[in-house]
Amino acid sequence: MTITAAADGSALGNPGPAGWAWYVDDDRWAAGGWPHATNNQGELMAVLDLFRATEHVDDDLHILCDSQYVINCITQWMPGWKRKGWRKGDGKPVLNLDLLKELDAAIVGRRYRFEWVKGHMGHTLNEAADARARAAAEAYQRRTAVPTGPGFPGGAHAGSPALVVPERAPTLFDAPAAPAAPLTLSPAQRLRLEQRAREQGVSLEQALRDLI
């Protein structure tokens, strides 16, 4: 069988408060985000989470994306970048390296194909993923609960609780007052921390406190 899903990212300001989401149907979707990221990071993260959420099933994946950058990264450019030590043809480092390395590992042994769809043109699955990614970005902007979705049945995120970003008391992801330097995490690092919090059934803040 084939699972058809749309993946999308949304950043308010690009970069800015950002969200990601993948969507199969109303019972199978997931979303998340960060206080500061780009559209491309969001869509890469949506694809990565889709692979992880479905790693326990033996179905093919048919992934709809409106970002040709994301599709080309995975289907065309990554092998060459890896041979060059994750550098582009001009010798400059590849952007979004952490996410790309995670994706490179996640797709091993999987059967998948990508299809480009034009965004904001009424495609049902694309519009559903876009709406959920934007809702996550807006939640980070407002510092309110992020709707994370039910996930995929039996998958890593099934039934995961909503991530709540406090309205007060700045977290370690907020820029601290000068002269202290802010703590920065890559999107992939933040995802791993969010996953740990979900697995433990605690808030992101509590998971951070447990690490200190």
Q: Which residue among 32, 33, 66, 157 is the active-site one? A: 66
Identify whether 157 is a catalytic site residue: no
Q: Which residue among 33, 130, 149, 151 is the active-site one? A: 130
Q: How many structural domains is the chain composed of?
A: 1
Identify whether 58 is a catalytic site residue: no
Q: Which residue among 26, 89, 90, 120 is the active-site one? A: 120
Q: Which residue among 42, 43, 49, 149 is the active-site one? A: 43
Contact 22, 30 (CB under 8 A): yes
Instruction: Classify the phi-psi angles of 183: left when phi > 0, otherwise alpha if psi is within -120 to 50, otherwise beta.
Output: beta
Range of the domain at 56: 2-211
Nearest to 29 by CA among 61, 7, 56: 7
Task: Give, for 187, the enclosing helix (H) or strand (E).
Answer: helix 187-200
Identify whether 120 is a catalytic site residue: yes
Exposure pattern of 31-62 as b/e (b: 16+ CB <10 Å)? bbbbbbbbbbbbbbbbbbbbbbbbeeeeeebe
Nearest to 151 by CA among 159, 142, 143: 159
Identify the CATH number of the domain in which residue 116 sits. Answer: 3.30.420.10
Identify whether 151 is a catalytic site residue: no
Identify whether 9 is a catalytic site residue: yes
Per-residue model confidence as pLDDT tens for the chain (212 residues) = 999 999 999 999 989 999 999 999 999 999 999 999 999 999 999 999 999 999 999 999 999 999 999 999 999 999 999 999 999 989 999 999 999 999 999 999 999 999 999 877 789 999 999 999 999 999 999 999 999 999 999 987 543 333 333 333 333 333 333 343 445 666 777 777 777 666 666 566 666 656 65
Identify whether 8 is a catalytic site residue: yes
pTM: 0.76
